[in-house]
Amino acid sequence: MDYLILVDKFNTVPPDYADKTEFCQVQGILMEKQAGDQLKKMIDSALGQGISIKVISGYRSPDYQQLLWERSISCEMWGGLSYDEAVKKVGRTLALPGSSEHNTGLAADLGTESADDVEDNFHRTPQGRWLSRYAAEYGFILRYPRLKEQITGIDFEPWHYRYVGTEAAKIINGSGICFEEFLHFYSDKYISSMKIL
Ligand SMILES: [Zn+2]
């Protein structure tokens, strides 16, 4: 398993990815096995400090992503947009099948205890604050930070945490770079020899 896999609109998940991947469940939600185990540890540790974190979304199969995509497109077209306009609009908030980090099982959308959906102000909640301080110790990074939108191509998402392993997470968190910058700066000298947990 490559925990430093880059998945975005230009780099899609290989078609046989799910067949080669082991999964587990966290709060009834599917995650890649090691990412899920670390997520569980992180959530337990937060709970030990009185912070209750809810897993809102984890692994999504490409088929499910396709369903979400088609549903959103037809909804917009029903509302009067042309197909091209609908694709443009939906593409701003929803990834195409295979191009979402959720298709890897390495990303989780996290929320407060009572949340039904992701929260725009999550970073201001005790849960969001706890995660920004401790997530790297468990190998997770805030994948789409503020002021990095031009590089990641995704708006600030305070709820979306991505497992990259503790070593990479500590470098990324400690130096204030985003994942794309990490891959750029460290790809030659570090990544091939990096031991991931
Ligand atoms: Zn997400």
pLDDT tens digits, 51-110 = 999 999 999 998 898 998 999 999 999 999 999 999 988 887 788 888 999 999 999 999
Predicted local confidence at residue 197, as pLDDT: 43
pLDDT tens digits, 11-62 = 999 989 999 999 999 999 999 999 999 999 999 999 999 999 999 999 999 8
CB-based contact 26:40 (threshold 8 Å):
yes
Burial of 2 (0-12, 13-18, 19+ CB in 10 A): exposed
How far, in Å, from the CA of 145 to the mean position of ligand 1? 12
- The Cα–Cα gap between 171 and 135 comes to 12
**In the chain, where the domains are located:** 22-60+100-193
Range from 51-65, 79-93, 118-132, 183-197 carrying the lowest mean pLDDT: 183-197
How far, in Å, from the CA of 101 to the mean position of ligand 1? 7
How far, in Å, from the CA of 100 to the mean position of ligand 1? 8
Residue 113, pLDDT above cutoff 80: yes
How far, in Å, from the CA of 108 to the mean position of ligand 1? 6
Class level of CATH domain 22-60+100-193: alpha beta
The residue with greater pLDDT, 187 or 86, is: 86
